[in-house]
Structure 1
Amino acid sequence: MHLLVTGGTGFIGKELLKHLTTHTVTVISRDIEAAKSTLQHTDVGNITYLSTLDTFDDLNAFDGVINLAGEPIADKRWSQHQKKIICDSRWKTTETIVTLIHASTEPPSVVISGSAVGYYGDQQSHPFDESLQVHQNSFAHNVCEKWEAIAMRAQSERTRVCLLRTGVVLGDNGGALHKMLLPYKLGLGGPIGHGKQYLPWIHILDMVRGIVTLLDTPHAQGPYNFCAPHAVSNALFSRILARTLKRPHLLMTPTWLIKVLMGESSCLLLDSVRAKPKRLTEIGFNFSFPHVEPALKNILIKSR
């Protein structure tokens, strides 16, 4: 297949491209030289680099689109300016892709587009799957809801659209786990808030294998929860992480401090999301890491 990939130099995108070496890939990146450097060990001569989607009048040349573009949502406080950057980086890129698909006489057969479990908001301890309908006015939900709505406009008899409602992706060389490690290594690790909130995690390998599964499954369409089947509480995750690192697990970061430090974005750490990957397993996907302790051991031992 000839695939168009946005966000190919990001944490997920870099790992995904390692699994697409049998395909022809066009990567969209604002800085082509930086992208070539980032992907130098991944590119086997199958990747073309372009700086913008504006060079296209349509997407007739592509069999599929994987849209992972988006400003990292947890890197900065959610000022009004940062919120605009987060939204624009997701919505505008997706809108451009949809417009190009509508202009195509032979459109791509599949669009796989990013989203997040932030769509669901805080669901406390209740397990749920993709059938859950959510109506709320939080920023995280609104970002995902509009992002998904834009992507779904590409759906037609000739183009199926899959939505990646992604949880916390665990892997080395980036992502949330990379940010967590330092305090644990310093012996300062512990649960966040009361620690009862569920963490919808997924190993990076399962993340990219799942995307490839959607790519290769002709009847797959609609939203998919990309999180392991066994979510754990923040307190349990924290205890397992400390044990894996052979470090103490003594300190707790109080809820009020998280809210002071992070403001509105504190919901990313305090909301409880016990999402189940029902639709992904229904199409035959088997998780390599369904449980968090083997997942953490795999990542942390490999990174030493």
Structure 2
Amino acid sequence: MERPKLILAGGSGFLGRHLARHFTQLGYAVVVLGRTARPGVVRWNGRTVGPWAAELEGAAVLINLAGKSVDCRYHAVNRYAIVRSRTDSTRILGEAVAACVTPPAVWLNASTATIYQDTREAQPANTETHGLLGRNFSETVAQRWEAEFNLAPVPATRRVALRAAIVLGTDGGALPVMAQLARFGLCTPQGSGQQCISWLHIADFCRAVEFLVARPDLEGAFNLCAPAPLSNHAFMALLDQHYRPRWHLPQPQWLLEIGAFLLGTETELILKSRKVIPDRLLSAGFRFRFSDCPTALADLLPRLT
């Protein structure tokens, strides 16, 4: 029997590698669309329709993760690239799907939990139904991204927007960097430490995507995060408990601003308060393996030591 095909656009990074492995183990034939052709990867530029579009014909699943990393300075050139890399790739995939005789049954497009406004501990958490959308750069990027996705003329294809929080894993994302810094005493609260962190174990990220693929009754935006956000202060305390460094270095906001400038990034990535709940996933019956952060870090941190 022929294996169902899954197309993974922009799938060469941390999340894409895990999804490719996960769905291959489930029996899918995974085809990655990437910038450089190699075995298992079909070349595309994310801007124009090309020979790669033939791969979508008859595919069971399309997942789009394409987009320039936000781990950079938000000057004009990078802002333009961040927006266009997301909207252009989504638009061109929509054109390619619309041209298919047998289009993919489901299209899952990356989005971000950063779409919601800065939400502090005392405020209600953001759900898909009652979340408050923000108006700053990162938040409007997410809204433009989802708008492009929703405008795609693909009536025969179910659409799901993945509003993913910070995904924790051992081979990519933020956790390896934070763990390395924690070993040297940078496991103190960042800034005030009162900002909320919404997070998700990489295993549950893959399982949630699998769950959404398998449920033809589910469409629209879904928050991909564990059901228990925590404060930055509490998260850093968990790192401190694990690594127990000999000294502790303070991380006031002014010092973080200097560090972000030297490293070519933005403090928003760690200082914005993201308080998000996966209300629709829970209502649909999804069950997390790692529903609280202490359990998730207990699984991941020993493999980073």
Report the TM-score when normalising by structure 1. Answer: 0.89
Seen in structure 2, the aligned counterparts of structure 1 residues 230 and 136 have a Cα distance that, compared at 3 Å, is: closer
Instruction: Specify the alignment match of 1:194 in structure 2.
Output: 192
Instruction: Specify the alignment match of 2:179 in structure 1.
Output: 181
Q: For residue 157 of structure 1, report the CA deviation from its aligned partner.
A: 4.5
Q: For residue 262 of structure 1, report the CA deviation from its aligned partner.
A: 3.5
Instruction: Specify the alignment match of 2:238 in structure 1.
Output: 240
Would you say the 8 A contact 1:184–1:248 is kept in 2? no
Distance (Å, rounded) in 1 between the aligned partners of 2:292 and 2:220: 26
Seen in structure 2, the aligned counterparts of structure 1 residues 136 and 203 have a Cα distance that, compared at 3 Å, is: closer
Would you say the 8 A contact 1:188–1:248 is kept in 2? no
Instruction: Specify the alignment match of 1:73 in structure 2.
Output: 70
Distance (Å, rounded) in 2 between the aligned partners of 1:154 and 1:60: 17
Distance (Å, rounded) in 2 between the aligned partners of 1:155 and 1:276: 30
Seen in structure 2, the aligned counterparts of structure 1 residues 155 and 290 have a Cα distance that, compared at 3 Å, is: farther
How is 1:148-159 mapped onto 2 (pairs within 5 angstroms)? 148-154=146-152, 157-159=155-157
Distance (Å, rounded) in 2 between the aligned partners of 1:248 and 1:107: 57
How many residue pairs match? The answer is: 290
Instruction: Specify the alignment match of 1:129 in structure 2.
Output: 127
Distance (Å, rounded) in 2 between the aligned partners of 1:288 and 1:201: 13
Distance (Å, rounded) in 2 between the aligned partners of 1:290 and 1:231: 10
Q: For residue 234 of structure 1, report the CA deviation from its aligned partner.
A: 0.0
Counterpart among 32, 44, 50 of residue 54 in structure 1: 50
Larger mean CA deviation between 103-112 and 142-151 belongs to 103-112
Larger mean CA deviation between 220-229 and 241-250 belongs to 241-250
Segments of structure 1 that go 5 or more residues without pairing to the other structure are 37-47
**Letter of the aligned partner of 2:88 in structure 1?**
K
Distance (Å, rounded) in 2 between the aligned partners of 1:258 and 1:233: 17
Q: For residue 246 of structure 1, report the CA deviation from its aligned partner.
A: 2.9
Seen in structure 2, the aligned counterparts of structure 1 residues 276 and 133 have a Cα distance that, compared at 3 Å, is: closer
1:118 aligns with 2:114: yes
Larger mean CA deviation between 262-271 and 91-100 belongs to 262-271
Q: For residue 62 of structure 1, report the CA deviation from its aligned partner.
A: 1.6
Instruction: Specify the alignment match of 1:17 in structure 2.
Output: 20
**Letter of the aligned partner of 2:242 in structure 1?**
T
Distance (Å, rounded) in 2 between the aligned partners of 1:242 and 1:261: 21
Seen in structure 2, the aligned counterparts of structure 1 residues 30 and 108 have a Cα distance that, compared at 3 Å, is: same
Q: For residue 236 of structure 1, report the CA deviation from its aligned partner.
A: 0.3
Report the TM-score when normalising by structure 2. Answer: 0.89
Segments of structure 2 that go 5 or more residues without pairing to the other structure are none
Q: For residue 123 of structure 1, report the CA deviation from its aligned partner.
A: 1.5
Distance (Å, rounded) in 2 between the aligned partners of 1:296 and 1:56: 39
Task: Say which SS state the counterpart of residue 160 (structure 2) adopts.
Answer: strand
1:3 aligns with 2:6: yes
Would you say the 8 A contact 1:190–1:249 is kept in 2? no
How is 1:155-174 mapped onto 2 (pairs within 5 angstroms)? 157-174=155-172
Would you say the 8 A contact 2:33–2:52 is kept in 1? no
- C-alpha RMSD of the superposition: 1.9
Distance (Å, rounded) in 1 between the aligned partners of 2:150 and 2:275: 25
Seen in structure 2, the aligned counterparts of structure 1 residues 184 and 164 have a Cα distance that, compared at 3 Å, is: same
Instruction: Specify the alignment match of 1:274 in structure 2.
Output: 275
**Letter of the aligned partner of 1:61 in structure 2?**
G
Instruction: Specify the alignment match of 1:42 in structure 2.
Output: none
Task: Say which SS state the counterpart of residue 200 (structure 2) adopts.
Answer: strand
- Paired-residue identity, %: 30
Would you say the 8 A contact 1:197–1:272 is kept in 2? yes
Task: Say which SS state the counterpart of residue 23 (structure 2) adopts.
Answer: coil
